[in-house]
Amino acid sequence: MKSQDFEIIDLSIPEQQSYASNFLTLKDRKVISVNVNEVIKRLIKNHAFNKNVESIVSREYEKIAGNVFPLRKDIKDHGIDFVSAELIELTGGYGGAHCMTAALNRA
């Protein structure tokens, strides 16, 4: 992908577990994203992970202090603008903004 001029943006473990990468692209550099902070907090509160994973997610989330996708400076530096949507019920079903729209009939 890098040979095709794609840039890879790493996600932390808490971001991965809260479906931060499951955003919907509206146009170039404009996305709809789940509210990652709220999803992480809810997953931890509801003990959605086994104890080992919950420990890792909690510890890593404390380190990043809520500075998560798409609020992170490196995301802004890439010129990505976003709309944060309250999709917390979708993430409970293992989906996000992209998955939510993938099943729509666009005919």
**DSSP assigned state of 2:** G
Helices 51-64 and 36-45, axial angle in degrees (round to 10): 140
pLDDT in tens, the chain (107 residues): 878 888 889 999 999 998 888 888 899 999 988 888 988 898 899 898 999 999 999 999 999 988 999 999 999 999 999 988 776 666 556 666 667 666 656 66
Q: Alpha-carbon distance 87 to 77, whole Å? A: 25
Confidence (pLDDT) at 71? 93
* DSSP-derived 3-state class of residue 85: strand
Please report the pLDDT score of residue 1 as a whole number.
80
Domain locations along the chain:
14-97
d(CA 42, CA 102): 25
